Amino acid sequence: KAGVTQTPRYLIKTRGQQVTLSCSPISGHRSVSWYQQTPGQGLQFLFEYFSETQRNKGNFPGRFSGRQFSNSRSEMNVSTLELGDSALYLCASSLAWGDGYEQYFGPGTRLTVT
């Protein structure tokens, strides 16, 4: 069974631009979560989607948004990029939404903002 895939793997953008990252969950998984990882802050939760609905949201500005499609694939968008948005963005999928469901992480998208 294929794991979680994220595209692109690496991305370089300029301040002020916007970016869209994509995540394909493991087949049969319906919940997708997004995380930002930086050396200083570690892993921080962005949002979680289940059945095309955002179920939880972390403490990030409105420039960070996401969506989930009917096939469970998910995208996240960051508008008006800032230097501080440079990070590894990780997507994780699980069978369903709720406690106890194991999360499987993708390899991440390394975003560099210059």
Partner 1 sequence: KNQVEQSPQSLIILEGKNCTLQCNYTVSPFSNLRWYKQDTGRGPVSLTIMTFSENTKSNGRYTATLDADTKQSSLHITASQLSDSASYICVVSIINTGTASKLTFGTGTRLQVTL
CA distances (Å), origin 39, targets 18, 29, 30, 42, 62: 22, 29, 29, 6, 22
* Spatial CA neighbour of 75 closest among 54, 96, 56, 58: 54
Q: Which of residues 49-88 bind partner 1 (CB under 8 A)?
A: 56-59, 88
95 part of the interface to partner 1, by CB under 8 A: no
Among 44, 65, 79, 86, contact with partner 1 (rule: CB under 8 A): 44
Binding window for partner 1 (CB under 8 A); candidates: 11-19, 61-69, 71-79, 90-98: 90-98
Strand ranges across the sheet with 74-78: 5-7, 19-24, 74-78, 64-68
105 part of the interface to partner 1, by CB under 8 A: yes
Contacting residues toward partner 1, per CB under 8 A? 4, 41-45, 48, 56-59, 88, 90, 92, 98-100, 102-108, 110
